[in-house]
Amino acid sequence: MQIENPSRRQFLKGAGALAIVGALSGVAGIATLGGMKKVAGAEKMNMPETDRQWVMVIDLRRCDGCKACTTACQKEHYLHPEQEWIKVYKLEGPSGQKYNLPKPCMQCEDAPCVRVCPVKATFKTSDGVTLVDANKCIGCRMCMAACPYASRYFNWKDSLPVPSTLAKPTPEFPVPQQKGTVGKCEFCLHDVRAGKLPACVRACEMRALWFGDKVADLAANPDEVVKLSTLINSNDATRLMEELNTGPRVYYIGGHGQEVNY
């Protein structure tokens, strides 16, 4: 399936980086997947945060396992090398075909980690992202035990040094991480709300990662803006462990004949 690209000037903003909110709200006609009509996006995206529902789509056909997404996330959040908030698994399908599977937090709609936190340090935002308030976290690790995707990580060490301007962490941008608390991927919500794509999406040279809004029905990577529902449905995208009914917000496009799992 061919993707029709809008012009670069339609969605590049500042220093050559695509600003997803700017891109999806400022483009009068957004190119979508081949065979689809162009959709008017401007009026749909002039909405408050409560009317956005963020998701990620990962195209395994494009992923080459380079781990640029992992490195970018670590740099963005000043993480130690062993702290991988987005892991890249090298897997083999039932017929011996090899593929790579990046795995961030699934940002579950019915998140087990939220339900088990005894101090409500883990919570969901109005735009659908699960966050951790390190100032409330007591390090009990019940959330880690509850997460079926193993997407939470305990901070055994003090954080790496950070600039003085980042001395006050927030749940949206937990930098620096606090020793004795739990950290995880937060879809780079601090960047997203400032009009930028998450660090992992920006770093992927293969353009295997997409970030989108379910309400506006649009998704973007640094080169393309497409209709989210078409990207998911036309490519038979699936989610990990859907049988658990957690409602993960990360979708995977297979395409190599493998059963998407890890």
Task: Output phi, psi for 132, to 5 deg.
Answer: -125, 125
The whole-model pTM stands at 0.82
Residue identified by tokens 């962490």 is: 169
Taken in order 201, 207, 213, 214, the sign of the CA dihedral is negative
Give the domain range for residue 134.
32-253
Per-residue pLDDT at 183 exceeds 60: yes
Which pairs with CB-CB distance under 8 Å and at least 24 residues apart come from 134-143? 134/169, 134/171, 134/174, 134/177, 134/178, 134/181, 134/183, 137/178, 137/181, 137/182, 139/180, 139/181, 139/182, 141/182, 142/116, 142/117, 142/118, 143/113, 143/116, 143/117, 143/182
Q: pLDDT band at residue 167, thresholds of 50, 70 and 90?
A: confident
Q: pLDDT band at residue 241, thresholds of 50, 70 and 90?
A: very high
Q: Find all residues with CB under 8 Å of 255, minimum gap 6, and list them.
A: 59, 60, 61, 235
Please give the average per-residue pLDDT across 153-166, as a whole number: 93
pLDDT tens for 114-133 read: 999 999 999 999 999 999 99
Q: pLDDT band at residue 166, thresholds of 50, 70 and 90?
A: confident
Q: pLDDT band at residue 41, thresholds of 50, 70 and 90?
A: very low
- ∠ CA 176-179-183, rounded to 5°: 65
The candidate with the shortest Cα–Cα distance to 127, out of 229, 212, 13, is 212
Per-residue pLDDT at 259 exceeds 90: no
Q: Is residue 134 part of a domain?
A: yes
Q: Find all residues with CB under 8 Å of 212, minimum gap 6, and list them.
A: 54, 55, 56, 57, 218, 219, 220, 228, 231
If you average pLDDT over each of 1-15, 34-48, 127-141, which comes out highest?
127-141
Looking at every residue in the chain, the average pLDDT score rounds to: 84
Q: Is residue 17 part of a domain?
A: no
pLDDT tens for 188-205 read: 999 999 999 999 999 999
Q: Is residue 22 part of a domain?
A: no
Q: Is residue 159 part of a domain?
A: yes
Distance CA 250, CA 106 (A): 5
Would you state the pLDDT for residue 95?
78
Q: Is residue 261 part of a domain?
A: no
> Poorest-confidence range of 18-32, 96-110, 217-231, 243-257?
18-32
Q: Is residue 13 part of a domain?
A: no
Please give the average per-residue pLDDT across 235-260, as a whole number: 88
Residue identified by tokens 């670590």 is: 74
Could you give the percent of the chain with pLDDT greater than 90?
A: 73
Q: What is the CATH number of the domain that holds 248?
A: 3.30.70.20
Q: Is residue 1 part of a domain?
A: no
> Poorest-confidence range of 41-50, 159-168, 174-183?
41-50
The candidate with the shortest Cα–Cα distance to 62, out of 170, 209, 167, 181, is 209
Distance CA 186, CA 3 (A): 28
Q: How many C-beta atoms surround the C-beta of residue 79 within 10 A?
A: 22
Residue identified by tokens 């009990």 is: 140
Per-residue pLDDT at 6 exceeds 50: no
Distance CA 41, CA 20 (A): 12
Taken in order 160, 209, 215, 42, the sign of the CA dihedral is positive
Q: Is residue 55 part of a domain?
A: yes
Residue 180, helix vs strand vs coil? coil
The residue among 49 and 222 whose pLDDT is bigger is 222
Give the chain's domain count: 1
